[in-house]
Structure 1
Amino acid sequence: MRTPAIRAAAALAAAALTASGCGLAAPGSGGAGQDGPVDGPADGAITFQTWNLKADYEEFFTGVIEDFEEANPGARVRWLDQPAEGYADKLSADAAAGTLPDVVNVAPDLVHPLAEAGMVLDLDRARPGAAGAYTADAWAGFTVPGEDGTYAYPWYLNTGPVFYNRALFEEAGLDPDAPPTTYDELFDQAQRMAEATGGKTAMLGQTPGIIDLGLYGSQAMNEDGTRFTFNDAAGVEMVERYKELYDAGALVPEALTQDYTGAGEQFMSGAIAWAPGSAYDLENFRTNAPDLYENVGITEVITNTGRAHMYLQGLAVSAESEDPATAAAFAEFVTNAANQEAFAHEVQIFPSTKGSLDDPYFTEEDGTDEGRVRVAAAAQLESATSYTPVVFGDQMQNLLRDEIALAMRGDKSPQQALDDAVDRCNALLEEG
């Protein structure tokens, strides 16, 4: 449920580099700035790589590059944009070959193996004081367990409301003006919808993942970030509740299949009544599902912690860059408050810079559904956090999904399924 250009670049991206699988080795002695502050004039030639943004935002980024070059005589920026498919593999191949672009678009999970291999700058050392421009939670999103430092500049953020189908609520005898606001209410209404429709309509379209467990109150890892712990009481309780929903027909059975595409398409087609989304989904509904758009309801994310999930994108600087001062200066320019706020007017994302969310654009509704979603999402970001550990890669996500599917089918108890998922994920973590 995302626009094509942003879908892969948003923090919902599933693909992840893993240090054990991508063949990364420690960098050679080529680049400058690996061991201390990076300063000097920004007058070199660098490459800048984004993630599936050029098709829709070429004019915006061309303007940003021109502004930077004008402000820094001698600087030259060559923009590369990679497609959504295979982006993680492309980063892995470039890193292994020593051809990582000078400034590269990353999500927290993508920067993790690069940081462990020493292939991106530790910005706390390379650019002392840079952290002050960004919110603390956004800056912390690019730290790595077991490593000192921060390995990417926070760029744009997202979080989202929950969308629900008012027409399906009415058909099931539920009040479309009183959507669930707690998990108890969600599970109760999901059961009632399944009963009222004879299992024809399910409320939910996805088994819980690591983010859902976090929102419910489970702790993904210990405080040191060295072991997974999501098999705690909260995690088990959530899986137990979902098992009850699955048995009642309140969760679509397709959610347990290996090739399942997710709740978004199910919601768009009217097969389910409830789906988490993000601030830019309404335009997708208007264009591709006009009947749904006329009946869509918008409500807040349900959480037991009081904190929504924050999706985060960033810009990392290659430790092998021949012009690290130019690269770092450009990354700071792209992610400064003015440019982040301008980008937020191009697409429904949110800046990570301090004070930016105080702008009336993010605090005052303009009478449109989009404005309502934007203001609600911005308010959520005030306290949002990331529930996905940077070390929780794609293989681990698949393991958790598979174990929960076994619990849904009754092949394992919820406790055993999460115990096994934790054991297997910790084994992968130890392999590193």
Structure 2
Amino acid sequence: MQRTVWSAALAAGLLLSAGCGSAAGPGSDSGGPGGKIVVWDWKSGDPKAAGYVREAKADFARKHPGVAVEFVAQPFEQYYTLLGAAIQAGKGPDVVLFNGGGQLRDRTDALTPLDAYVGEDRQRLAGWEAFTKAGKVYAEPVTLQGHPIYLNEDLYRKAGLDPDAPAATWDAFVRDCATIAQKTGARCFALGNKEGIGIQFWLSALGSAALTPQEYDDWIAGRRDWTSPNVRKVFELWRQAGESGLNTDGANSTAMFNDAFAAFSSGKAANVIGLMSDVGHWKDFAEFLTPENVGVRTAPVVTPAAKPSLPYDGGIGYAVAKWAKDPKLAADLVRSLTSPGALKAFSLDSGAIAADTTIDASAGGPAVESIVSEVKTGKPALHVALGSKTIDLMGRLSQQLLSGSATVDDVLRQLAESDKTG
């Protein structure tokens, strides 16, 4: 059965890569006039990205007027399966979009290091670490991705609480959640974990409030101690939040995208661990709650020695496939996709926090100003440091924790074993 499924995926990927006119395919000539560079992503079909794609194409055309660029927007839920089939076959798109972290690092054998091509972009862009492995850069960051805790300031005020001075400790935070529930009927957190994604947000948003600074740095560096009492606290609080009714109902059957975010926007929960990118973020929430009612806070302190900070990394970035006929030309397109004009358009139209640190985001309102200011002292997100196999396992185990079919100790043991084997 597994062989049949994989063969079908492989066939689908090869058919798609041939049909889209890949530069690695027969008859293409990406290096000369009339040639073509093919890009796979899941963003270019989004209306919010139309201005971004237009600006990137224009920037590239000024440098290479004889080369066409074709964007092939793939469905995100199938994206890495299709990409895996292309990698298996050794041909496909020239330029590929990746999430930062394990999804890219697990596939660097199929990518071209970009260190020789990034030039001054090194200084202008942030978030490089999420696209780096063994000291080599494999993609240029387009956005920064992080996990702020958003709060509905209107609900806080209705409960008699000051949203500008939210509870600083976890125990006080839980007490405030009880007050909000009593006065407004809203839950503490809007949570969706149908895809097993909720635990990623939880780990990264609360991690800096539970781990000591040294434990945090060790985790990012790969020296992870899954037996640490402070690591255990993060998963124990996940379990307790479900058992004590802090979350919106049916978290394991609720999609994070976009049902959980919709629950927050509609006032069913006072808080949500959201994103900095162009979905589930300040701009989406402001459309329903109004900008002045969307607040942002760091995590409440769980361990006294912890120093909470905004967890963030490079969000999405474009890489060059190793089979591209002209890596330098493909890398030039990547640089156009991260050019100031393109990233400014993406930021304005979608609300994403662009990787370009020179963009002025103050027009976005208080929430985005707060996020941008916290980037200066933020640290990489804990879940991004994990391999994709461990991430997938953590998602499944997190559902078992919420349902009560697994213990925290068993979950941590399995995750430690997975992390050790890569």
* Larger displacement relative to structure 2 (66-75 or 211-220): 211-220
- 1:49 paired with 2:45, answer no
The 5 Å alignment of 1:162-177 reads 162-170=149-157, 172-177=159-164
Shift of 1:346: 2.6
* Larger displacement relative to structure 2 (389-398 or 65-74): 389-398
- 1:348 paired with 2:348, answer no
Q: 1:268 to 1:162 in 2, by over 3 A?
A: same
Q: Taking structure 2 as the reference length, what is the TM-score of the superposition?
A: 0.74
- 1:186 paired with 2:173, answer yes
Shift of 1:121: 0.7
Shift of 1:105: 1.1
Assess if the C-alpha contact under 8 Å between 1:161 and 1:298 holds in 2: no
The aligned amino acid for 1:212 is A
The 5 Å alignment of 1:62-141 reads 62-108=54-100, 109-115=102-108, 118-124=109-115, 126-127=116-117, 129=119, 132-135=122-125, 138-141=127-130
Q: Taking structure 1 as the reference length, what is the TM-score of the superposition?
A: 0.72
Shift of 1:241: 3.9
**Deviation per residue, 1:145-164 (Å, 9 max, x gap):** xx341211122224464332
Q: Distance in 2 between the 1:417 and 1:395 partners?
A: 17
The aligned amino acid for 2:261 is G
Deviant stretches of 4+, over 6 Å:
none
Shift of 1:341: 2.9
User: 2:15 maps to what in 1?
Assistant: none
- 1:142 paired with 2:118, answer no
Q: Distance in 2 between the 1:239 and 1:152 partners?
A: 32
Give structure 2 stretches of 5+ with no counterpart. Answer: 1-8, 11-22, 25-30, 192-197, 301-305
Shift of 1:139: 1.7
**Deviation per residue, 1:380-417 (Å, 9 max, x gap):** 22233332455635553353344445555666654x14
Aligned-residue identity in percent: 21
The aligned amino acid for 2:186 is T
2:379 alignment partner, SS class: coil
Q: Distance in 2 between the 1:176 and 1:131 partners?
A: 38
Q: Which structure features the higher share of helix residues?
A: 2
The aligned amino acid for 1:275 is V
**Deviation per residue, 1:46-76 (Å, 9 max, x gap):** 2122323333133441342133223224333
User: 2:268 maps to what in 1?
Assistant: 271
Q: Distance in 1 between the 2:137 and 2:157 partners?
A: 49
Q: Distance in 2 between the 1:224 and 1:272 partners?
A: 31
User: 2:27 maps to what in 1?
Assistant: none
Q: 1:235 to 1:68 in 2, by over 3 A?
A: same
- 1:235 paired with 2:228, answer no
Assess if the C-alpha contact under 8 Å between 1:396 and 1:425 holds in 2: yes
**Deviation per residue, 1:185-220 (Å, 9 max, x gap):** 3233224445x369x532123465331353334457
Aligned residue pair count: 370
- 1:323 paired with 2:326, answer yes
User: 1:61 maps to what in 2?
Assistant: 53
Q: 1:111 to 1:132 in 2, by over 3 A?
A: same
Q: 1:150 to 1:423 in 2, by over 3 A?
A: same
Q: Distance in 2 between the 1:307 and 1:130 partners?
A: 28
The aligned amino acid for 1:202 is R
Shift of 1:377: 1.8
User: 2:377 maps to what in 1?
Assistant: 383
2:207 alignment partner, SS class: helix
Q: Distance in 2 between the 1:162 and 1:122 partners?
A: 35
The 5 Å alignment of 1:149-168 reads 149-159=136-146, 161-168=148-155
Q: 1:351 to 1:181 in 2, by over 3 A?
A: same
Q: Distance in 2 between the 1:232 and 1:153 partners?
A: 34
From 187, 192, 216, the counterpart of 1:202: 187
Q: Distance in 1 between the 2:118 and 2:186 partners?
A: 55
User: 2:245 maps to what in 1?
Assistant: 249
Assess if the C-alpha contact under 8 Å between 1:159 and 1:308 holds in 2: yes
Q: Distance in 1 between the 2:141 and 2:210 partners?
A: 26
Q: 1:174 to 1:423 in 2, by over 3 A?
A: same
The aligned amino acid for 1:140 is E
**Deviation per residue, 1:235-263 (Å, 9 max, x gap):** 222334444444433233522x2x33133
Shift of 1:267: 1.4
Q: Distance in 1 between the 2:269 and 2:391 partners?
A: 23
From 365, 370, 377, the counterpart of 1:371: 365
Shift of 1:275: 0.9
Assess if the C-alpha contact under 8 Å between 2:146 and 2:381 holds in 1: no
Q: Distance in 2 between the 1:42 and 1:305 partners?
A: 54
Q: 1:119 to 1:169 in 2, by over 3 A?
A: same
User: 2:205 maps to what in 1?
Assistant: 212
Q: Distance in 2 between the 1:71 and 1:404 partners?
A: 48
Shift of 1:172: 4.3
